C-alpha cells in the first residue's frame, strides 16, 4: 500500500475513533517526560456489531496494572532514568485485531503532519493547536494477530514495539517486523517443547486445534513442521476455529475430533475464549476424560478457561514461558481500591465483576439482581486472587524499554537533566538498536535479552491441571524446557486420578517377532505381521530368513543354532535293531560253532562247508553293519559303512550264486554224460566266490579314493514347517545315488542267483538244496521290490537310517533262515542216508559220483 493511501486510511480511522470516544473511555493517560504506549485486552470480543464484550480480569486488568506497577517502580528508582519520568497512553484492544488497529492510531497522531494553512481564528490569526503526546515505544500487544496488525502500522512511523505475550513465529521475520521485539520466546520454541512433551508421553498420533489468526495458525504450523522433521509424531487432523464462529461450530469441532478416536492427544493453539468453548462442547458431547489436552501459553495457568469445567480440563498439560510470581505486584494489586486507583478507568468495571456487586452511577438504573458495592471490599480477601502468568513479562517489557532509554540518555544526553535535544524528537531506529542491546536481570531474576530477530530465549514451565481430594483443582508444575525437556512423569495425574499415562497412538506396538506393515501415507499407523517360517524380526519393519543352519528363537527376535540329532544308542529306534542284530550274530555264531564241531561229518561235508563258512561270514557282516549304522558318523565310521554296507551282501550272494551255479551245472552235465563238470571242487568254488567279492572291493576302494568319506549335518532333511521341530541330522555324506551304486552289484548277484535257483528247481528231491536257496532268493527279491520304492520315494528323515537297518535285519534274517533250511535238509539227507545205508549202498556211491559226498 502506498504512503498516501496509508495516510488517507489513517485519517479515516481517526474520525471513527473520535466518534466513539464521546460515548465510552478508551485509554489511560499518565503524564511523563517520555510517553510509552500500552496495548492490553481489557475486554473480550463483543457480539456481532459490538466491538467489546465483558471485562477480562486476568489477561486484561492484571496485565495492564502490571504496566502501571512497573512505571511506578521505574519512576521511583533513582538509578534508572534519573530525573526522567515515564508516562503512558494505555489502550484497550478488546481482543480484536481490527479494533486494536484503530486504537493504535492514537500512538501516531503526533507524527502525522496536519495542514492547518486554511484554518483561521475569528481574529484572522492561525489557530494554536495542542500537540498530542509523542509515544516513543509501545508495550504490547497480547495476541499475536493484534501485534502483527499493529506492527505493520508502527514500523511506518519507526516506533519500537515490545510484546509481553505474542509468540507467533511469523513475528521473528526481521524484514517484515523489524521494529518488533518480545520478552517471551516465539512459538517455534514452544512448538518444539510441545513436540518433546508429546514424545515423552509416548504419543505418536495427535490432532491440532487452532484459532484462526496468526497465533493459532502459526503455532500449529510450527508444531507440524517440527514434528515432521523430528519424526515419530503424526497429525490425525488439523482443525481451525473460525474467527467468528457460528452457533454449533464448537460441537462440530468435537465431532470431527471424534472421527479419529485413537488420536486422543489434542494440541491446542487457541485464545482463552475458544479454549473455554471447546471444553464446553466436550462436556456437552459427554466426552469428559477422552481428550488429552496439550495447551499453548495462551492457556498457560489461567483459571478462566477452565472455570466450572474442571473435570473436562483435568489432566491438561499446558506450557507457559518460565515465570515467577512477583511478590511486589501482589502487594500492589491487592491494595488497589476504588479510591487509590482512579487512574485505571476500567477498574470500577473490574471491581463489579470481581466482587459480583454493582456500583451506583449517576443516571444508571439500579439492578435488583446484584448487591450494591460498598467500596470496602478487598482483592484477595473478599474475592479469589492469583497472579496472572504474563504479569512478569509485562513488567520485563516495560523495564526493557526503560533500560534502553536509560542507556540512550546516558550516551546522547550525558550530564543533561531531562530529555536533551538529541532525544527530542526521539529517533525510533536508534532506540530500537538500544533495545536490542539490553541485557539485565528481570523481575524474576532471569536474564532479559533479545537476539537479532528481537526474540527472547526459550524458557518454559510445564503445567498440568490436576484435581485432588485434599485440595482445590489447580495447575501444578511438572517440568521445564530450556532447549531440552525435563518432565517429572511420576508427578503427573490424569482424568479420574489415574497415574498411568493414557495412550494416543494410531497403532499399538507390535509384539516381539512381528514387523510393522506401514499404512500408506501415515508413518505412525501400521499393521503387525508375524515373521513366519524360518524368519526372524531383523528390525521394526523387516523380517529376514535365518541362516540355513539356524532357526528363529521362540519370540522370533533372533536366530539360534538348529539342534543336531543323531541316532543314539539308547533310542527306541536303535534298541530293536541292535537287539535283532545281537540275536542274529549269536545265531550265526551258533551255526558256525555247530559247523566247526561237526566239520568232518558227512552232512557238513556234503553241504559244502567251505562256501557255508563264506556265507556265514557275509551273514555275520550284515548283522554287524547295524552297529556301524548306529554309531556316531565320523571319517572312520563313514568309511567302514561304505566298505561293509555292500561287502556283507556281496559275500553272501556271491557264495549263494556259486553254490547254485554248481548245483545247476552238475545236474545239467549229468543229463548229457557221467563226466563231472569243471570247477566244482571246493578250491574252485572259493576262487569263484572271492573273484566275485573282489569286484565289490575294487569298486568300494575307487569310491573311497575319489570321494573321501566324511560326516555332514543335513539341515534340509528335518526342516519342518514348524521351526521348533526342526533339527539337523548328523550323517555320513552318502547320497541316494551313491547308496544305489553301492548296492547295485549285490542286487545283480542276487538277481543272477535267483535265476539259477529257478533253473535248478527241478533237481531230484534227494538233492533239493536249490529249493531252500530259491525260497530265500524269492523272499529277498520281494523284500527289495517293496522296500526300494518306499525308501527312495519318501523324503529323507532321521528314520531313514532305521529303515536301512531294518532292511539289513530282514535280509540277514532270510539268509539265516536259508542256512538253517540247508543245514536241516542236509541233516535230513544224512538221516535218510543212515536209514538206507544197509539196504542200498548204491545211493552213497551215487552221491560220491556226483560229488555231493566226498567220503
Q: Which cell numbers in the block locate residue 381?
A: 480477601
Q: Given this model, what pLDDT does residue 786 score?
A: 67
Is 639 within a domain? yes
Least confident of 339-343, 646-650, 695-699: 646-650
Parallel/antiparallel/unpaired status of strands 86-92 and 27-30: antiparallel
- 665 in Cβ contact with 676 (< 8 Å): no
Residue 791 and residue 654 share a domain: yes
Start-to-end CA span in the chain (Å): 144
Cβ atoms < 10 Å from Cβ of 333: 22
Is 372 within a domain? no
- If you average pLDDT over each of 407-421, 663-677, 739-753, which comes out highest? 407-421
Q: Given this model, what pLDDT does residue 632 score?
A: 85
846 pLDDT exceeds 60? no
Is 697 within a domain? yes
Q: Given this model, what pLDDT does residue 746 score?
A: 82
> Exposed/middle/buried for 633, CB within 10 Å: 0-12, 13-18, 19+?
buried
592 pLDDT exceeds 50? yes
* pLDDT tens-place string over residues 623-636: 888 888 788 888 88
More confident residue, 719 or 546: 546
Q: Given this model, what pLDDT does residue 285 score?
A: 94
Please report, rounded to a whole number, the percentage of residues in the chain having pLDDT higher than 70.
83
Q: Given this model, what pLDDT does residue 529 score?
A: 92
179 pLDDT exceeds 80? yes
CA angle (449 as vertex; 443, 452 as ends), nearest 5: 160
Is 118 within a domain? no
Q: What domain range is 266 assigned to?
A: 187-324+459-497
544 pLDDT tier (thresholds 50, 70, 90)? very high
- 420 in Cβ contact with 414 (< 8 Å): no
Q: Given this model, what pLDDT does residue 832 score?
A: 29
State if pTM tops 0.85. Answer: no
**Rounded average pLDDT over 122-126:** 71
Place of cell 539196504: 839
524 pLDDT tier (thresholds 50, 70, 90)? confident
545 pLDDT exceeds 60? yes
- 354 in Cβ contact with 370 (< 8 Å): no
- 800 in Cβ contact with 730 (< 8 Å): no
Cβ atoms < 10 Å from Cβ of 57: 18
* pLDDT tens-place string over residues 473-511: 889 999 999 888 999 999 999 988 888 999 999 888 889
Q: Given this model, what pLDDT does residue 572 score?
A: 77
* pLDDT tens-place string over residues 554-581: 999 999 999 988 777 887 777 887 888 8
Instruction: Give the span between the Cα atoms of 183 and 390, in whole angstroms.
Output: 10
Strand, coil or helix: what is 609? helix
Torsion of CA 268, 269, 274, 280, to 10 degrees: 10
* pLDDT tens-place string over residues 342-388: 999 999 999 999 999 998 765 455 555 678 998 899 999 999 998 98
303 pLDDT exceeds 50? yes
Q: DSSP for 255-267, please give it.
A: HHHTTSTT--EEE
Q: Given this model, what pLDDT does residue 791 score?
A: 58
- Distances from the Cα of 182 to the Cαs of 168, 393, 436, 521, 652, in angstroms? 11, 9, 10, 38, 108
Q: CATH number for the domain including 794? A: 1.20.1070.10
Q: Which cell numbers in the block locate residue 786?
A: 517293496
Q: Given this model, what pLDDT does residue 811 score?
A: 36
3 pLDDT tier (thresholds 50, 70, 90)? very low
Please choose, from the candidates 669, 610, 620, the residue with its C-alpha nearest in 3D space to the C-alpha of residue 647: 620
Q: How many domains does the chain have?
A: 4
Q: Which cell numbers in the block locate residue 484?
A: 531440552
* pLDDT tens-place string over residues 59-77: 899 999 999 999 999 999 9
Q: Given this model, what pLDDT does residue 839 score?
A: 30
Residue 414 and residue 276 share a domain: no
Residue 351 and residue 314 share a domain: no
Q: Given this model, what pLDDT does residue 767 score?
A: 56
The alpha carbon dihedral of 200, 204, 205, 209 has a sign of positive
Q: Given this model, what pLDDT does residue 19 score?
A: 42
Q: What are phi and psi of 239, to 5 degrees?
A: -115, 140
**Distance, C-alpha 264 to centroid of its chain:** 19
Q: Given this model, what pLDDT does residue 159 score?
A: 95
Q: Given this model, what pLDDT does residue 368 score?
A: 58
Please choose, from the candidates 531, 535, 506, 536, the residue with its C-alpha nearest in 3D space to the C-alpha of residue 518: 506
Is 348 within a domain? yes
State the helix-helix crossing angle for 635-672 and 682-706, rounded to 10 degrees.
150
841 pLDDT exceeds 80? no
Residue 340 and residue 244 share a domain: no
Listed as own residue / partner, the contacts of 714-717 with beta carbons closer than 8 Å and 24 or more positions apart are 714/796, 715/548, 715/549, 715/562, 717/795, 717/796, 717/797, 717/798
Residue 354 and residue 308 share a domain: no
Is 200 within a domain? yes
Residue 394 and residue 245 share a domain: no
Instruction: Give the span between the Cα atoms of 575 and 595, in whole angstroms.
Output: 30
Strands (E), 157-196: 161-163, 180-182
Residue 643 and residue 526 share a domain: no
Q: Given this model, what pLDDT does residue 287 score?
A: 93
Please choose, from the candidates 726, 774, 317, 300, the residue with its C-alpha nearest in 3D space to the C-alpha of residue 550: 726
Instruction: Give the span between the Cα atoms of 781 and 750, in whole angstroms.
Output: 8
More confident residue, 104 or 180: 180
Please choose, from the candidates 519, 730, 545, 556, the residue with its C-alpha nearest in 3D space to the C-alpha of residue 635: 730
**Rounded average pLDDT over 738-746:** 78
Q: Given this model, what pLDDT does residue 824 score?
A: 30
715 pLDDT exceeds 60? yes
Instruction: Give the span between the Cα atoms of 71 and 346, in whole angstroms.
Output: 18
Q: What are phi and psi of 290, to 5 degrees?
A: -80, -50
* pLDDT tens-place string over residues 401-460: 999 999 999 999 988 888 888 898 889 999 999 999 999 999 988 899 999 999 998 889
Please report, rounded to a whole number, the percentage of residues in the chain having pLDDT higher than 90.
40
Q: Given this model, what pLDDT does residue 659 score?
A: 81
Please choose, from the candidates 768, 646, 773, the residue with its C-alpha nearest in 3D space to the C-alpha of residue 781: 773
Please choose, from the candidates 184, 198, 814, 92, the residue with its C-alpha nearest in 3D space to the C-alpha of residue 501: 198
- Distances from the Cα of 324 to the Cαs of 37, 299, 394, in angstroms? 25, 17, 12
Is 700 within a domain? yes
Please choose, from the candidates 768, 767, 758, 772, the residue with its C-alpha nearest in 3D space to the C-alpha of residue 847: 767
Give the bridge partners for 487, in sequence order. 479
More confident residue, 475 or 855: 475
Instruction: Give the span between the Cα atoms of 647 and 617, in whole angstroms.
Output: 10
H runs (alpha helix) in 339-384: 347-355
**Rounded average pLDDT over 823-839:** 31
163 pLDDT exceeds 70? yes
Is 523 within a domain? yes
Q: Which cell numbers in the block locate residue 569?
A: 544308542
Q: DSSP for 61-72, please give it.
A: IIHHHHHHHHHH
Instruction: Give the span between the Cα atoms of 539 and 203, in whole angstroms.
Output: 21
**Rounded average pLDDT over 664-681:** 73
Place of cell 530477530: 453
Instruction: Give the span between the Cα atoms of 49 and 46, in whole angstroms.
Output: 8
State the helix-helix crossing angle for 3-21 and 97-104, rounded to 10 degrees.
90
> Exposed/middle/buried for 282, CB within 10 Å: 0-12, 13-18, 19+?
buried
Residue 798 and residue 667 share a domain: yes
602 pLDDT exceeds 70? yes
> Exposed/middle/buried for 445, CB within 10 Å: 0-12, 13-18, 19+?
exposed
Residue 692 and residue 552 share a domain: no
Q: CATH number for the domain including 143? A: 3.40.50.2300
Instruction: Give the span between the Cα atoms of 726 and 472, in whole angstroms.
Output: 64
Q: Given this model, what pLDDT does residue 852 score?
A: 40
More confident residue, 128 or 204: 204
Q: Given this model, what pLDDT does residue 150 score?
A: 93
CA angle (422 as vertex; 417, 427 as ends), nearest 5: 125
Residue 654 and residue 750 share a domain: yes
- 448 in Cβ contact with 442 (< 8 Å): yes
530 pLDDT exceeds 60? yes
Average pLDDT of the chain, as a whole number: 82
Helix (H) or strand (E) run with residue 567 in it: none
> Exposed/middle/buried for 248, CB within 10 Å: 0-12, 13-18, 19+?
exposed
* pLDDT tens-place string over residues 786-824: 666 765 565 444 344 433 433 333 333 333 333 333 333
Instruction: Give the span between the Cα atoms of 477 and 320, in whole angstroms.
Output: 10
Residue 621 and residue 541 share a domain: no
Residue 352 and residue 205 share a domain: no
Least confident of 39-48, 174-183, 562-571, 832-841: 832-841
Q: Given this model, what pLDDT does residue 35 score?
A: 94
* pLDDT tens-place string over residues 225-260: 999 888 889 999 999 999 888 889 999 999 999 999
762 pLDDT exceeds 70? no
780 Cβ contact partners less than 8 Å away, ≥ 6 residues apart: 750, 754, 811, 814
836 pLDDT exceeds 80? no
DSSP3 helix / strand / coil % (the chain, rounded to 5): 45, 15, 35
Amino acid at each position: 500500500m502506498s504512503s498516501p493511501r496509508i495516510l488517507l486510511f489513517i485519517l479515516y480511522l481517526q474520525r471513527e475513533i473520535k466518534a466513539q470516544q464521546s460515548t465510552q473511555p478508551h485509554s489511560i493517560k499518565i503524564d511523563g517526560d517520555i510517553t510509552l504506549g500500552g496495548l492490553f485486552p481489557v475486554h473480550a470480543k463483543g457480539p456481532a456489531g459490538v466491538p467489546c464484550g465483558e471485562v477480562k480480569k486476568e489477561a486484561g486488568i492484571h496485565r495492564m496494572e502490571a504496566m502501571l506497577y512497573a512505571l511506578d517502580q521505574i519512576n521511583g528508582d533513582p538509578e534508572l532514568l534519573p530525573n526522567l519520568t515515564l508516562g503512558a497512553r494505555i489502550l484497550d484492544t478488546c481482543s480484536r485485531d481490527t479494533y486494536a488497529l484503530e486504537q493504535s492510531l492514537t500512538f501516531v497522531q503526533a507524527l502525522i503532519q496536519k495542514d492547518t494553512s486554511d484554518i483561521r481564528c475569528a481574529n484572522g490569526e492561525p489557530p494554536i493547536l495542542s500537540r498530542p503526546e509523542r509515544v516513543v515505544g509501545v508495550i504490547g500487544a497480547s495476541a499475536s494477530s493484534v501485534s502483527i496488525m499493529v506492527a505493520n502500522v508502527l514500523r511506518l512511523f519507526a516506533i519500537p514495539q515490545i510484546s509481553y505475550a505474542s509468540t507467533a513465529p511469523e513475528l521473528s521475520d526481521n524484514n517484515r517486523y523489524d521494529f518488533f521485539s518480545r520478552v517471551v520466546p516465539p512459538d517455534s520454541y514452544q512448538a518444539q517443547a510441545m513436540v518433546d512433551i508429546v514424545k515423552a508421553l509416548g504419543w505418536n498420533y495427535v490432532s491440532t486445534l487452532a484459532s484462526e489468526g496468526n497465533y493459532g495458525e502459526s503455532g500449529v504450523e510450527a508444531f507440524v513442521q517440527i514434528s515432521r522433521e523430528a519424526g515419530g509424531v503424526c497429525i490425525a487432523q488439523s482443525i481451525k476455529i473460525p474467527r467468528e464462529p457460528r452457533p454449533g461450530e464448537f460441537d462440530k469441532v468435537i465431532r470431527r475430533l471424534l472421527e479419529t478416536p485413537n488420536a486422543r492427544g489434542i494440541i491446542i493453539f487457541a485464545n482463552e475464549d475458544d479454549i473455554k468453548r471447546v471444553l464446553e462442547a466436550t462436556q456437552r458431547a459427554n466426552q469428559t476424560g477422552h481428550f488429552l489436552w496439550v495447551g499453548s501459553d495462551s492457556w498457560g495457568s489461567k483459571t478462566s478457561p477452565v472455570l466450572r469445567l474442571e473435570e473436562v480440563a483435568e489432566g491438561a498439560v499446558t506450557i507457559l514461558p518460565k515465570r515467577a510470581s512477583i511478590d511486589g505486584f501482589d502487594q500492589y494489586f491487592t491494595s488497589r481500591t476504588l479510591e487509590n486507583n482512579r487512574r485505571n478507568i476500567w477498574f470500577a468495571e473490574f471491581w463489579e465483576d470481581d466482587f459480583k456487586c454493582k456500583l451506583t452511577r449517576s443516571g444508571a438504573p439500579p439492578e435488583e439482581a446484584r448487591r450494591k458495592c460498598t467500596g470496602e471490599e478487598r482483592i484477595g480477601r473478599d474475592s479469589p486472587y492469583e497472579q496472572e502468568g504474563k504479569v512478569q513479562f509485562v513488567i520485563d517489557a516495560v523495564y526493557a524499554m526503560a533500560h534502553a532509554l536509560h542507556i540512550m540518555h546516558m550516551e546522547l544526553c550525558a550530564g543533561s537533566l531531562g530529555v536533551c535535544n538529541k532525544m527530542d524528537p526521539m529517533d525510533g531506529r536508534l532506540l530500537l538498536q538500544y533495545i536490542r542491546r539490553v541485557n539485565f536481570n528481570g523481575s524474576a531474576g532471569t536474564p532479559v535479552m533479545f537476539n537479532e530477530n528481537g526474540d527472547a530465549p526459550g524458557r518454559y514451565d510445564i503445567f498440568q491441571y490436576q484435581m485432588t481430594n485434599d485440595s482445590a483443582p489447580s495447575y501444578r508444575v511438572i517440568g521445564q524446557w530450556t532447549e531440552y525437556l525435563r518432565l517429572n512423569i511420576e508427578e503427573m495425574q490424569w482424568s479420574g486420578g489415574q497415574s498411568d499415562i493414557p495412550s494416543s497412538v494410531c497403532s499399538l506396538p507390535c509384539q516381539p517377532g512381528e514387523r510393522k506393515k506401514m499404512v500408506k501415507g501415515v508413518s505412525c499407523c501400521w499393521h503387525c505381521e508375524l515373521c513366519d517360517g524360518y524368519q526372524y524380526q531383523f528390525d521394526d519393519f523387516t523380517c529376514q530368513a535365518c541362516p540355513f543352519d539356524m532357526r528363529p528363537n521362540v519370540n522370533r527376535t533372533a536366530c539360534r543354532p538348529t539342534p543336531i540329532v543323531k541316532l543314539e544308542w539308547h533310542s527306541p529306534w536303535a534298541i530293536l535293531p541292535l537287539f535283532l542284530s545281537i540275536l542274529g550274530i549269536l545265531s550265526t555264531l551258533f551255526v558256525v560253532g555247530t559247523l566247526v564241531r561237526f566239520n568232518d561229518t558227512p552232512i557238513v561235508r556234503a553241504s559244502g562247508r567251505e562256501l557255508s563258512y563264506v556265507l556265514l561270514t557275509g551273514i555275520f557282516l550284515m548283522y554287524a553293519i547295524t552297529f556301524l549304522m548306529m554309531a556316531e558318523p565320523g571319517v572312520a565310521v563313514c568309511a567302514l559303512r561304505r566298505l561293509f554296507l555292500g561287502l556283507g551282501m556281496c559275500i553272501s550272494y556271491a557264495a549263494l550264486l556259486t553254490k547254485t551255479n554248481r548245483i545247476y551245472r552238475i545236474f545239467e552235465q549229468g543229463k548229457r554224460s557221467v563226466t563231472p563238470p569243471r570247477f566244482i571242487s571246493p578250491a574252485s568254488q572259493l576262487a569263484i566266490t572271492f573273484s566275485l567279492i573282489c569286484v565289490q572291493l575294487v569298486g568300494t576302494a575307487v569310491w573311497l579314493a575319489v570321494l573321501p568319506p566324511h560326516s555332514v549335518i543335513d539341515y534340509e532333511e528335518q526342516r519342518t514347517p514348524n521351526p521348533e521341530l526342526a533339527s539337523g541330522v548328523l550323517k555320513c555324506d552318502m547320497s541316494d545315488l551313491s547308496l544305489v551304486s553301492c548296492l547295485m552289484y549285490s542286487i545283480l548277484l542276487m538277481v543272477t542267483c535267483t535265476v539259477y535257483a529257478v533253473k535248478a528247481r527241478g533237481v531230484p528231491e534227494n538233492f533239493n538244496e536249490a529249493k531252500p536257496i530259491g525260497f530265500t532268493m524269492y523272499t529277498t527279491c520281494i523284500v527289495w521290490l517293496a522296500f526300494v520304492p518306499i525308501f527312495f520315494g519318501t523324503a529323507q528323515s532321521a528314520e531313514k537310517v532305521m529303515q536301512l537297518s531294518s532292511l539289513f535285519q530282514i535280509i540277514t534274517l532270510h539268509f539265516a533262515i536259508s542256512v538253517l533250511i540247508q543245514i536241516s535238509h542236509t541233516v535230513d539227507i544224512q538221516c535218510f542216508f543212515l536209514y538206507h545205508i544197509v539196504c542200498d549202498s548204491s545211493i552213497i556211491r551215487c552221491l560220491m559220483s556226483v560229488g555231493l559226498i566226498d567220503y
